[in-house]
Structure 1
Amino acid sequence: MTAGPEPMSEAARAALNRELSELRGERAKVAATLDDADEPGDRADQADELQRATEAERLDARIEEIEGRLREASAAGPPSNGTIGVGSTVGVRFGDGTESTLHIGELADADDPALVTVDSPLGRALLGHAAGDSVAYATPLGRTTAVVLSVGAGGGS
């Protein structure tokens, strides 16, 4: 990622807000099952209670992560035209000469094979760049490059 807070498209913001709402609902269900009794019960009860508490902690961490990302995006403002940010649609030419249109998103989506997350090496390399820029990034086979052909607003998550 770039040095400052990353801008986020409205579509990406909406996707994170949906996930946040779902996580809060799931967290409320888990919290309702946590036992406040003073007597610990048998080992199975203790193990089940520990598992639910661990799940609550996992949910709390993800909720905090999303809230932080939404605050950061608010501070950054909307993505600027012509600069790659979360939600951008990007045309790129890879080092081997192939061209592709990609969507830059926060969350992986199995239904969108063109989605590149901001946490991936290519996603991190592209953020903040504009058409005409060349970026280098790591792949399992070593470092490679891509040239940004075009940047547009998109509906990525």
Structure 2
Amino acid sequence: MTGGPEPISAVARAAIERELSDLRTERDAVLVTLRGGGDDQTGDRADQADELERGTELDRLDRRIAELESRLREGAVAGPVRTDEVGVGSSVTVRFSDGTESTVQIGEVAEVHDPTMVTSDSPLGRALLGRRAGETVTYDTPGGRENAVVVSIGGE
């Protein structure tokens, strides 16, 4: 990543929005279980520990919600996905050393069932970031170093 605002693909935006919705629902459920914050000292230590745990969970949820909302704002500021060089959100067609070609999406988070998603912090993703069509990249695999040529770059 460049260190500045990074564009966000439609796929990543949808995934973040789904996660935000789930987190907000979870947060509402945790909030309902918390007491009103009064000075009621009638509960035992187990009740107090449970209350503390729910408060900690609420803090965790709030932090993650803020992080995701910030990423959505950053993506909006960054504008559309670039097509002149590989960046987060790019769709990249690469030709591997064995001659096969594959189109991959450079993303921030890999979807569990999406074999075309390559995260920007994976070996191939890192090698592709900032590259242009026609350039050759070298990256590490479990079987050793590999080369691939950037055939073309597209947006979402």
**Corresponding position of 1:26:** 26
Measured on the aligned residues, the alpha-carbon RMSD in Å equals 2.6
**Corresponding position of 1:9:** 9
* Aligned positions, number: 154
Structure-1-length-normalised TM-score: 0.78
* More displaced 10-residue stretch of structure 1: 12-21 or 93-102: 93-102
1:134–1:146 CA contact under 8 A, matched in 2? yes
**Corresponding position of 2:112:** 110
Q: 1:128 to 1:69 in 2, by over 3 A?
A: farther
Overall identity of the aligned pairs, in %: 62
Q: 1:62 to 1:141 in 2, by over 3 A?
A: farther
Structure-2-length-normalised TM-score: 0.78
| Partners of 1:46 and 1:140 in 2: CA distance | 49
Structure possessing the higher relative contact order (Cα contacts under 8 Å, 6 or more residues apart): 1
- Give the 3-state SS of the residue equivalent to 1:3 in structure 2: coil
* Deviation readout 1:70-125 (Å, 9 max, x if unpaired): 12212211112233233322122345665432122232211112211223343233
Where do 5+ consecutive residues of structure 1 fail to align?
none
| Partners of 2:148 and 2:3 in 1: CA distance | 21
2:83–2:90 CA contact under 8 A, matched in 1? no
**Corresponding position of 1:58:** 60
